[in-house]
Amino acid sequence: MCRKLISNNYGDTIKFEVKLKQQIVQEFRSYPKAKKSVVIRQLLRIFADDLEETPQLKGDELSIEERTAIVESLYGIAAVEGKTPPTDKEIKEDYTNYLSEKYK
C-alpha cells in the first residue's frame, strides 16, 4: 500500500492509504471468476447503500414560478444567430439519408 497525504480546500490534512490503481486492477484480474463475482456484488451493494443514503430532492421543492423562470432562462440557449432551426420534415429527411448511407 502507498500512503498519501492529501490537503483539502479547508486546509485539513487527510491521510489515505491508497493502492495504486494499476495494482488493484492487476490483482482483480488475477482472481478466479467466482471471487471476481463476489467482489463485484459487494461493490454493487456498497454503491446501492450510498445511493440510499444520498438525500433525494423532492420534485415540489421549487415553486411553479421558480421552475418557470428556470425554463424561460434556457429558452433559445441552443440557437445559432442567422440560422433557423430545421423543420420536422428536414430532420426526418436527414435521418433517413443518414440511415440509408449507414446501411448501404
Give the three cell numbers for residue 11.
Answer: 486546509
* Structural domain contains residue 84: no
Count of the separate structural domains present in the chain: 1
Structural domain of 49:
2-53
Q: What are phi and psi of 18, to 5 degrees?
A: -125, 130
* Structural domain contains residue 68: no
* Structural domain contains residue 46: yes
Supply the pTM of this predicted model: 0.34
CB 14 within 8 A of CB 8: yes
* Structural domain contains residue 77: no
For 50-79, write each residue's pLDDT tens digit.
Answer: 777 655 555 557 788 888 888 888 877 777
For 78-88, write each residue's pLDDT tens digit.
Answer: 777 888 888 99
